[in-house]
Structure 1
């Protein structure tokens, strides 16, 4: 089999994208920056099909991961580690809400996302689906790189693999690689604090 087979290209493409995204995001939503208030008004739908109340973002610190339900590896790994991290946190877990935002709203309808997130550990993981305009704004705010890749009869999405944490005032207080272990995530969250 050729070294440049489709599985090999997919893996190297994902690694290259993750590498690029780290440097790209340094010039975007860097740690210590504040999201604009307009972020509260973006159109997102929860797993029950209800429009998201802007107060959702101001009640707790939010741990964000962006991906899609058809993702074969990075997303399931990140969401599993986020769920386990929420369990490791114990009582401090109450300070956080863990949020998966899809980059594939065409396929990730609320019902699909509801079934998807139920596969992962942790009780305070939710999923949100934005409309296309809001998705573009979110991607711009966080510096998320995403690209559709054609597959046999369908498509996949190459995307940035990063975890973000924002506080109740929309300050970004933590950013870490999506491959961070559950213990590493929990440790970062315990040590995190709002900018002075």
Structure 2
């Protein structure tokens, strides 16, 4: 009789213990364990391009401070000038604290966007914005490493470019952090970017 009662208790007890173990496993798998180092990302990488001033710029030149990367082209009718204006406003809001910050504007249209064209175009924006161009092969390589969509679209008077409009946030070691929202108030966006210094 005692054995029957133990047997009847054993099954619910065993079921309870298995449930506790499974719940523990589920909780552990859902917990976001913060790492000291960000997870290595496959976005970004080495590049060698030319600035609007004719200087050679590589990813190594940007180490030591966070930077933003935006891909576009000088014949862009709306998205690119709007984004560059927002980037300029962020840098203005950052003031002297933002002297180390850099924003890269990388062309997806190397046929038309020579360093001279980029210099003229970017003269309307903050001087901390670096325009980068290069050979079609060099541009294709950075477009691929940042996983950017860019495609030439024929028009009645030539062509335009479809392209990714995301702004990439890279940390001080040149590693991809996330997309960066420039649509916020400039002081809010500046404070966010400065927090990565």
Taking structure 1 as the reference length, the TM-score comes to: 0.71
| CA shift for structure 1 position 74 | 0.1
Higher radius of gyration, 1 or 2: 2
> CA separation in 2, counterparts of 1:35 and 1:130?
22
Q: How far apart, in 2, do the equivalents of 1:154 and 1:179 lie?
A: 31
Alignment CA distance shift 1:76-1:56 (3 Å): same
Could you say which structure has the greater relative contact order, defined with CA pairs below 8 angstroms and 6 or more residues apart?
A: 1
| Residue 158 (str. 1) matches residue 162 (str. 2) | yes
Q: Which residue of 2 aligns with 1:126?
A: 130
Residue pairs, 1:30-179, within 5 angstroms: 32-34=39-41, 39-40=45-46, 42-53=47-58, 55-120=60-125, 122-177=126-181, 179=183
CA deviation after TM superposition for structure 1 residue 184, in Å? 4.8
Q: Deviations over 1:116-138 (max 9, x none)?
A: 11112x23111010322222221
State how far apart, in whole Å, the 2-side matches of 1:189 and 1:100 are.
17
**CA offsets 1:125-163 (integer angstroms, 9 cap, x no match):** 110103222222212222211111111221110111111
Give the unaligned 5+ runs of structure 2. Answer: 1-37
**Alpha-carbon shift at residue 59 of structure 1 (Å):** 4.1
Structure 1 stretches (4+) deviating beyond 4 angstroms? 34-37, 177-181
How many equivalent residue pairs? 160
Tell me the TM-score normalized by structure 2: 0.71
Question: Paired residue for 1:28?
Answer: none
Instruction: Give the RMSD, CA atoms, in angstroms.
Output: 2.4
